[in-house]
Amino acid sequence: MEQNQQELYEYARRRVKQKKRVYFHFILFFVGSIFLFIINRWLKVYEEYDWYLWGITAWAFVFIMHFIKVFVTESFINKTWEREQIEKLVARQERRIGQLQQKLEKEGTLPPHSTAS
């Protein structure tokens, strides 16, 4: 398999795993919420308090953060975005190195057309 195809395959495999974990997290959240409700209301564990609502709310917040990370953040900050950012930074560094070389050549401290390591 070609290197580029291998990278695409690995990226796709990783995304499928991420999505699978979000779906599993949702099912776990749903079943866990029902379980918390049953413990509080039917088994009468601290029945005078509606503590299950706090548990479900906290868990929902964690699930929403997980969902946003996988479906929102990862959709636009992906492999292509990373590659573009790296290329921009490398180009900026190369420009800066070129400017410094020109400055040193003008000052006479660097011989013309030498390469910096």
Q: Which residues contact 60 (CB under 8 A, 6 or more apart)?
A: 29
Lowest mean pLDDT among 55-64, 77-86, 93-102: 77-86
Which tens digits make up the pLDDT trace of 21-73?
999 999 999 999 999 999 988 887 777 788 889 999 999 999 999 999 998 88
Q: pTM for the whole thing? A: 0.64
**Confidence check: pLDDT of 99 > 60:** yes
Instruction: Supply the pLDDT for residue 115.
Output: 54
The reported pLDDT for the residue numbered 6 is 86
For residue 15, give both structure tokens: 């995304």
DSSP string, 74-96: HHHSSHHHHHHHHHHHHHHHHHH
CA dihedral of 90, 94, 96, 99, whole degrees rounded to 10: -170
Tell how far CA 32 is from the center of its chain. 26
C-beta of residue 30 within 8 angstroms of C-beta of residue 63: no
User: pLDDT tens-digit profile of 6-23?
Assistant: 888 888 898 899 999 999
Give the confidence band of 111 by pLDDT, cuts at 50, 70, 90: low
Checking if the pLDDT of 78 tops 80, the result is no
